Amino acid sequence: MPLGEFIGEVLLRGVLEIVFYTVSYYTGAVALWIITFGQVRIAPLSSIETTNRGKTKWTDWSIWLHRPFQGRVLKAECICIVGFLLWIAVGVGIYFAWKENKNTSEPVAQLSGL
């Protein structure tokens, strides 16, 4: 394995995953806290790979993480999905706002030149 592939695979991928998970988790946590007025309990980011007891990674389709003697909390993966979808919605909104602004500003510039 060449050194460039090693650096790309281990260092760059690791850093990008940490940044992606952290940004999407905290964005989703804030959004869920605002939407639900703080009523939904959320799992910490460190539990992102945790599954429910008796389940494997591929058979645990629940959005809740059941913790013994502590109740259930919303899984960190679900919080990351909410944060990621929120960033997609913001990006699409900015795109359409910019596209609409660009389309409406051109005819005004042409008319002012007459």
**Can you spell out the DSSP letters for the chain?**
--HHHHIIIIIIHHHHHHHHHHHHHHHHHHHHHHHTTT-S-B--GGGTT---TT--TTT---SEEEETTTEEEE-HHHHHHHHHHHHHHHHHHHHHHHHHHHHHHHHHHHHHT-
Task: Check residues 50 and 65 and name the one with the higher pLDDT.
Answer: 65
Task: Check residues 34 and 56 and name the one with the higher pLDDT.
Answer: 34
Dihedral of CA 39/26/21/94: which sign? positive
Number of domains in the chain: 1
**Residue ranges making up the domain that contains 30:** 3-112
Burial of 65 (0-12, 13-18, 19+ CB in 10 A): buried
pTM beyond 0.85, yes or no: no
How would residue 28 be classed by pLDDT, with cut points 50, 70 and 90? very high
Backbone φ, ψ for residue 42 (5° rounding): -115, 150
How would residue 33 be classed by pLDDT, with cut points 50, 70 and 90? very high
